[in-house]
Chain A
């Protein structure tokens, strides 16, 4: 796991969540700005998954990698689901869902770091 990359992912996830929170508070449906935030986040998560798997194949990583792999694979699904929901729900609750997705991704990356470093279950 790369410290720099996970920090960037966390910041991107929080920024995307904040942007969509503003959209929701302004009572707008999902716009291009929200989609751009999700797009950047998605690219970063895919990059993280690639880096993660390469590192797992190399120097080992966490003691039991099953949970870690679960997070690695599940995280990139969230921005996609958020975008899909934003397209379906053309009210403020579309970006509302994106806020949830962004926060969830941030929490997941924090958990991944903990698992990688062997701190916490």
Chain B
């Protein structure tokens, strides 16, 4: 099959699979936390929910891999990277603000640092596929 490289095919499937596992894990965790003990740590649980939404968004966007969804995927991965860095730093600097763990606490320590690696892998993969896509999709906004 000589079709142009899509974000959801080939090695991308691996990425989408890992993202799907994290979407499931973060989503289920947030749902349980908010349903059973929301008052104990509102900030942490809301963050869990936000993380879950971002993971779901990234999973779907990477799997579909069209022109618009590619941008959504870039945005989702960027938000994730920012989230894991900011929340990771905050959770170490001010543990009292995070009485219960989120996926992003301690730079994703509780999840084998996968939450830190995943958005970087995602952005790299998007960049790779965008390059091999160049004939068709002109990207007016580089990183300037």
A: residues with CB less than 8 A from B are: 64, 66-67, 70, 74, 77-78, 81-82, 85, 89, 91, 93-94, 96-97, 100-101, 104, 121
Contacts and interface: CB of A to CB of B under 8 A. Distances in A.
B44 to A, nearest CB: 12
6 contacts: A66-B32, A70-B32, A81-B17, A85-B13, A97-B17, A100-B17
Interface stretch (B20-28, B68-76, B126-134): B20-28
Given A121-B100, A121-B101, A85 B32 contact: no
In the A-B complex, list the 10 residue pairs whose CB atoms are closest, starting with the nearest: A97-B17, A70-B28, A100-B17, A93-B13, A66-B32, A96-B14, A104-B21, A89-B13, A67-B32, A93-B10
Interface of B: 9-14, 17-18, 20-21, 24, 28-29, 31-32, 35-36, 100-101
B24 A74 contact: yes
Nearest to B8: A89
Given A66-B36, A70-B32, A100 B11 contact: no
Nearest to B22: A104
B100 A97 contact: no
Contacts of B24: 74, 77
Contact of B21 (A67, A89, A100, A121): A100
Contact of B17 (A70, A74, A85, A91): A85
Contacts of B11: 93, 96
A91 B10 contact: yes
Nearest to A78: B21
Among B14, B28, B29, B35, which residue has the most Cβ atoms of chain A within 10 A?
B14
A100 B17 CA distance: 7
B17 A64 contact: no
